[in-house]
Amino acid sequence: MGIKPGQGTFIEGTEGEFLLSLKDLLQIIRRQRWAILLVALVCVGATMGLSMVQTPTYEASIKILIGQEQGSNPSANLGGDVQGLQQLTQTMAEAVNARPVAEAVIRQLNLQVSSEDFLESYLSVKQVKNTQLIQVSYRDADPQTARQIANTIGDVFSQQVSEASASANAVTATVWERADVPNTPVSPNLILNFGLALVIGLMLGVGLALLLEYLDDSWRSAEEAEQFTGVPTFGVIPRFEKLTAKAKKDKQKGRSY
């Protein structure tokens, strides 16, 4: 095992692999700390700049309660079967996220958006776990518009379910919680973006530090010279610091005493 010429602290192992100890890695990070910090600051600055110019997006949400009317035959009523109602709720959640609901809301509010974009880009629907509630969320750049569309979705869906299931033991969809005007945007998330940019910036900075170390062919200690040449070191020339004019003057004063 030896050091490959021009590789600094990178140790060449078997089959051309290069090994790096934790101590060596920490030393590289300490030597290249300014490069690492610079890369991290650039990533954080660029990310925060893009986040500041991004248009804020607001999200308004409603909750729809799925149930079933009491019919003449209680044994056939899913109201006595909680698991059955929860499965029905999952099915109804898929019905909310469907083109008939989107097209009806678009017509009613005269929205300038296609049903595909409405469903894929702005609307999100999910069943609240282990309940008969469906949470419907809508995103828009205007908080008032987001609230209006979310509430309209609930009204339109309730009406469509009522028209499609008018028989005994009919399924019901009731808007249990209407949307309020959102106060804070959900996007961009400055805190999340800052954290991700910092982590990615530090990772890129460490990678750059390792690359710079790999390309550096200088020796920084007698131990590195011994590892490379295989010859023991008999002496080391110390580093001489250049004295400033003030330091020379003080040194001369010290000798005069």
Write out pLDDT tens, residues 91-106.
899 999 999 999 999 9
Average per-residue pLDDT in the chain? 80
The string of pLDDT tens digits covering residues 13-72 is: 545 455 667 887 888 888 888 989 999 999 999 988 888 888 899 999 999 999 887 654
- The answer as to whether 254 is a domain residue is no
When pLDDT is cut at 50, 70 and 90, the band that residue 203 belongs to is very high
- Against a cut of 0.75, is the pTM above it? no
Same domain? For 32 and 132 the reply is no
Order the strands of the 133-140 sheet from edge to edge.
Answer: 123-127, 133-140, 58-68, 171-177
Return the CATH number at 72: 3.30.70.1130
- The answer as to whether 252 is a domain residue is no
Long-range contacts of 102-111 (CB under 8 A, 24+ apart): 104/156, 104/160, 105/149, 105/152, 105/153, 105/156, 108/152, 108/156, 109/148, 109/149, 109/152, 111/149
Same domain? For 110 and 172 the reply is yes
Same domain? For 142 and 124 the reply is yes
Q: Of 116, 74, 78, whose CA–CA distance to 97 is shortest?
A: 116
Which of 146, 177, 208 finishes a domain? 177
Q: Contact, 140 vs 117, CB < 8 A?
A: no
Give residue 230's domain range.
2-52+190-247
> How many domains is the chain built from?
2
The string of pLDDT tens digits covering residues 132-171 is: 999 999 999 999 999 999 999 999 999 999 888 766 567 8
- The answer as to whether 182 is a domain residue is no
